[in-house]
């Protein structure tokens, strides 16, 4: 693995074994969250992970954040590395960023995967996310982390995997109180940037969520899939937000088959 910095973005070149795939982590996390995927995917792909602006080892934002800024961060990476076409795999907020990138730079993609990502919310649901943002503004990331872990993992997995829970807890708590809300607000406002129908995304796309991911529900994924002409929808039974960790074998299998099928089509 090789670590480089691209205009303040911490980038890991995980492997160089084929077509390029960039993995986009979710809110409050960092590039290390993909360790459950990189072992499998690095066998056949050149994998790149990176820290979003305001996360991990990347630079803090100089202004309020939005999907445009986050998507341009990816463009800076691929330009720096002189990459032609890439596949994007985005989780949660990363799935929103991936869609924004696809709308702006569609000709740079050979595949797109949107994992556990939000679509249009009801007024009540949007207010609930805004309340969490407000709580973080006032009290920092510790004010939302325990509720988040309950939303992200099934009770059985949480109880059997305290080490994983503690690791993810530390990732979230490492976020700066003055920076974290800027990214969190994008979860509230960014969805509106992605509601055009259909989305002008022409590459093969995988849309995936868990049937117990209530904040990024099957209904949301169904609507995202309807927006994208060449899309494949996967709903994982009994899984919540962090299916890519809780049942990484299944998620990796779906991802690997999707990417391989895309290349062979």
Instruction: Note the pLDDT of residue 140.
Output: 97
Instruction: Note the pLDDT of residue 199.
Output: 83
**CA neighbours closer than 13 Å in the CB half-sphere of residue 147:** 12
8 A C-beta contact, residue 116 and residue 95: yes
Say whether pLDDT at 216 is over 90. yes
Instruction: Note the pLDDT of residue 198.
Output: 78
Say whether pLDDT at 203 is over 80. yes
Q: What is the pLDDT of residues 55-113, one digit of tens each?
A: 999 999 999 999 999 999 999 999 999 999 999 999 999 999 999 999 999 999 999 99
Say whether pLDDT at 52 is over 90. yes
- Mean pLDDT for 171-179 is 97
Q: Which domains does the chain have, with CATH numbers?
A: 2-119+191-264 (3.40.50.1820)
Q: In whole angstroms, give the CA distance from residue 100 to residue 226.
A: 16
């Amino acid at each position: 693995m090789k670590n480089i910095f691209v205009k303040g973005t911490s980038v890991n070149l995980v492997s160089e074994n084929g077509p390029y795939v960039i993995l986009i982590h979710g809110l409050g996390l960092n590039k290390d969250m993909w360790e459950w995927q990189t072992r499998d995917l690095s066998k056949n792909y050149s994998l790149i992970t990176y820290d979003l602006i305001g996360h991990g080892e990347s630079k803090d934002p100089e202004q309020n954040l939005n999907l445009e800024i986050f998507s341009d961060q990816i463009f800076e990476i691929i330009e720096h590395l002189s990459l032609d076409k890439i596949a994007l795999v985005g989780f949660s907020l990363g799935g929103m960023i991936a869609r924004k990138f696809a709308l702006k730079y569609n000709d740079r993609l050979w595949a797109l995967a949107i994992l556990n990502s939000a679509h249009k919310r009801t007024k009540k649901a949007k207010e609930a996310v805004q309340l969490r943002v407000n709580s973080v503004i006032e009290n920092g990331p510790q004010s939302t982390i325990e509720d988040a872990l309950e939303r992200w993992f099934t009770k059985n997995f949480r109880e059997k995997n305290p080490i994983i829970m503690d690791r993810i807890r530390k990732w979230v708590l490492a976020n700066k109180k003055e920076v974290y809300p800027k990214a969190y607000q994008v979860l509230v406002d960014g969805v509106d940037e992605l509601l055009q129908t259909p989305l002008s995304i022409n590459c093969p796309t995988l849309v995936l969520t868990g049937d117990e991911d209530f904040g990024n529900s099957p209904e949301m994924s169904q609507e995202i899939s309807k927006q994208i002409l060449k899309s494949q929808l996967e709903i994982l039974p009994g899984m919540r937000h962090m299916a890519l960790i809780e049942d990484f074998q299944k998620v990796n299998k779906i991802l690997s088959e999707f990417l391989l099928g895309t290349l062979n089509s």
